[in-house]
Structure 1
Amino acid sequence: MVDAHGTTELVTLDRLPPEAQLLFSAPQDNLFASLLWWHIVGAYAASAGEHAACAIVSTDNRISMALPVCCDAKGRMRSSLSSPYNFLCPPVFAPGADIVASGRTFGAFCYRYGSVRFDEWPADDPPSMAFIAGVDESGMSVLPFDHFGNWYEPVEGRSFDDYLAVRPGSLRSTVRRKLRAARQNTHFKLVTGDADLQDGIDDFAAIYQKSWKQAEPFPEFTENAMRALASAGLLRLGLLYADEKPIAVQFWAVSGGHAQLHKLAHDERAAALSPGTILTALMIESLLREGGIKELDFGRGDDPYKQLWTSHRRQRIGFILANRYRPAGILAIGQARLGSFKRALRGAIQTQTEAI
């Protein structure tokens, strides 16, 4: 589409022009801003009838922004390339790009749709917020929402003992007690490359089936992500064994100094050994010994256990871009206003209840 600000086009990931490819990071530097990750998501986490693409914005006759998106069978953009596996899915920008102008151009492109959803964005990222300000200037209604919390712990320059010393007292005593026993009764294995990868994947799948976890919505994703990340040197697959049998598994990735926990599970029949606690401690100990780790990232959601292992929380947000002149946009705006009213009402009721 051509408008007063520039152009926006949708291109499949395998046909990105070189200039657009250069906007993405190497996976070793920033996994969720890399084409490696988005190729994995597009290949193994797309719903039936949908495919991965990239929205490319050009301003001042050069590509200024790229955003992985999801399109339907007719090539219409539906959303950002969201999945249950992403920690982030924001746009990437060219150095020196006019980000607000890029937002206006993208917003003008979105005007053809009733509504489009974008999520998994950082709430504290100035370029992303500048982009959304530009979208708002285009005339599209921007309806923000909280998506999920992300718990993390800065660990640069810290040893495992340093890290453990600032954890809650109950966790410290449990870890120390359980680790003493575990070093006698269990065996820890770390898979980082192709060696032992298939055995590790098989053991991961076996434990996942025996755990409390629900079946994966995209069953092929985790195995193929592990293989791709192992080839890139980013995989950290931890396995805990007792009597030569796996009892706990954790899938981590390391990128740009961030150690990211993607998946974990344990065999509930081994609960007396606290295999999840033991393996988490062993993985963090291994990661910090490896060196170069600046942050432990526990991924999506506010699960209570994460607050034992980390001290910091940041918000991930999303937006509905709604066209107020199309039925789907009118509906999205109405739903957003109703949601705001309900939240305000609940807050007022809670305030009154506390005052009684």
Structure 2
Amino acid sequence: MKVLCFESARNISSDLMVRLEELARPRGIQQSPFWFQTLEQTCTMPDDQIFHLCTVDDDRVPRAYLPLCRPARPRFFKGARELHALSSPYTTEFRPLLPRNSTVTAPLLASLKRYCGSFDLIGFEALVEDDPAYGVTVAALKAAGFLVLDYKGFENWYEPIKQPDFHQYWARRPGRLRNTYTRKSRALERQGNLRIDIFPDCKDLERLLDDYETVYAQSWKEAEPYPEFTPALVRRSAIAGCLRMGVLYLDDKPLAADLWLVSAGRATIFKLAYDDDAKKLSPGTVLTAAMMRYVLEQDQVVEVDFGRGPDTYKKDWLSHLRHRRGLIAFNRTPIGLTAAALHMGKARLKKLLKPNA
């Protein structure tokens, strides 16, 4: 086994990129190299350092992949030298490509100092607790000598789909949601010509993207922290076949827009917005129902989730709640141990530092 390190996704050869995409495909779009390349190009600061670590066998077949960022400004502890899994406020799940095989994972972790320099801690967020990679990551970090703290991250509403039938799904929704949809869709039809375009059935991606940004600018939402991210993601995920983008029009004026991502049998409601002036017509509700019908009937997904956040309206659409997890792995440096004492508490740290703990 050999560990390769690339300081930019642009430096990864095309053949290795293709193989990494194949390795990531069963875990979903947010583990794919093009996702991390998009984050690198649109969500990092000029002084941040990027490392794409990859373990390959003698035939250059990738066995493990871990993209990392050394931020110019520490996030967890002032003065610390930190590494983080390459993520952003847009990351809704992170499933590290670290196999259980210690002969693959151990060399990758052992190479961190060689390629990334000295550091005091490593941070992971948006980990999926019931994914095998979560336990593998914790065990591998502990085996490498790190002190590991896991914590509860953001809330994530989701719905397991046993039968991809929209009528069955819709019958399980609260009566107020179904009644709102019926009343508002009729009201919209009375107002004028109601139309919903959904990519990929609607091929005019650039027009849909322009209309999405028009709606977003007229919505209640704050400006994007990284405005270049969404256009780049839309174009790349469309090429990868993962994009589902819908726009609702009334007399050709866009009133609501949804951006969903579909991969590995799952659909993530990634972004949605509606024109604030049309709030009384509930165009967002009408559009989201159409998008839900599409991913159930066309994509036959087995799960739908609502991304990041505890917003109360989400439980009308999806019935289950879980938390994404986070990890901080502290190195046994003076600053690393000081940071561990702050985050864990001195008593817990002493226990972990005891032999055989």
Tell me which residue corresponds to 1:199: 207
SS at match of 1:240: strand
Q: Deviations over 1:91-138 (max 9, x none)?
A: 2145xx514x55554554457311121112111122331231121122
Structure 2 unaligned regions, length at least 5: 73-80, 349-357
Structure-2 change in CA distance of 1:287 and 1:107 (3 Å)? closer
Q: In structure 2, what is the equivalent of residue 236 of structure 1?
A: 244
8 A contact 1:42–1:51 mirrored in 2: no
Provide the C-alpha distance between the structure 1 equivalents of 2:165 and 2:296, rounded to a whole number of angstroms: 6
Say which of 172, 177, 201 aligns to 2:178. Answer: 172
Give the match's secondary structure for 1:238: strand
User: How far apart in 2 are the matches of 1:281 and 1:20?
Assistant: 36
- 2:145 aligned partner: 139
On the 8 A contact 1:10/1:56 being kept in 2, the answer is yes
Q: Please give the alpha-carbon distance, in whole angstroms, between the structure 2 residues aligned to 1:41 and 1:25.
A: 19
Moved more, 52-61 or 162-171: 52-61
Residues in 1 aligned to 2:298 and 2:25: alpha-carbon distance in whole angstroms: 15
Which residue is equivalent to 1:87?
Answer: 92
The yes-or-no answer on 1:37 pairing with 2:35 is yes
SS at match of 1:300: coil
Counterpart-to-counterpart distance in 1, 2:189 and 2:291:
14
Q: In structure 1, what residue type is equivalent to 2:91? A: N
Structure 1: runs of 5 or more not aligned:
1-5, 342-356
Pick from 320, 327, 352 the counterpart of residue 319 of structure 1.
327
Q: CA deviation at 1:10?
A: 3.1
Paired residue for 1:300, among 299, 302, 308?
A: 308
Q: How is 1:207-222 mapped onto 2 (pairs within 5 angstroms)?
A: 207-222=215-230
Q: Secondary structure at the match of 1:299?
A: coil
2:127 matches 1:130: no
Q: Distance in 2 between matches of 1:184 and 1:27?
A: 47
Q: Please give the secondary structure, in 1, of the residue aligned with 2:127.
A: strand
> What is the match of residue 270 of structure 1?
278
Q: Is the 8 A contact 2:215 2:256 kept in 1?
A: yes
Q: 1:90 offset after TM fit, Å?
A: 2.7
Q: Is the 8 A contact 2:199 2:245 kept in 1?
A: yes
Q: For residues 189-221 of structure 1, what are the alpha-carbon distances to aligned partners after superposition, in whole Å with 9 as ceiling and x for unaligned?
A: 213278322221111111111111111111111
Give yes or no for contact 2:98–2:105 (8 Å, CA) kept in 1.
no
Q: Distance in 1 between matches of 2:214 and 2:142?
A: 48
User: Partner amino acid for 1:10?
Assistant: C
Local SS of the residue matching 2:36: helix
Task: Give, in angstroms, the shift of residue 320 of structure 1.
Answer: 1.1
- State whether residues 98 and 137 of structure 2, in contact with CA within 8 Å, keep that contact through their aligned partners in structure 1: no
Question: Between the two proteins, what is the percent identity of the paired residues?
Answer: 34
How many residues of Structure 1 are paired with residues of Structure 2 in the alignment?
330
Aligned-residue CA RMSD (Å): 3.0
Match of 1:67 in 2: 66
**Equivalent-residue separation in structure 2 for 1:340 and 1:305 (angstroms):** 41
- Shift in Å, 1:231: 2.1
**TM superposition shift of 1:68:** 1.6
- CA separation in 2, counterparts of 1:289 and 1:23? 30
Give TM-score scaled by structure 2 length.
0.81
Report the TM-score, using the length of structure 1 for normalisation: 0.82
Q: Find the aligned partners of 1:140 and 1:41 in 2 and give their Cα distance.
A: 27
Query: Which residue type is aligned with residue 65 of structure 1?
Result: A
Contact (CA 8 Å) 1:154, 1:295: kept in 2 or not?
A: yes
Contact 2:98 2:136 in 1 (8 A): no
Structure 1 match to 2:77? none
Structure 2 SS opposite 1:172: helix
CA distance in 2, matches of 1:38, 1:331: 31
Larger deviation, residues 233-242 vs 218-227: 233-242
Q: Is the 8 A contact 1:152 1:313 kept in 2?
A: yes
1:247-304 per-residue CA deviation (whole Å, 9 max, x = no partner) reads 1111112212222211111111111101221111121122223142222121112211
Pairwise CA distance, 1:310: 0.5
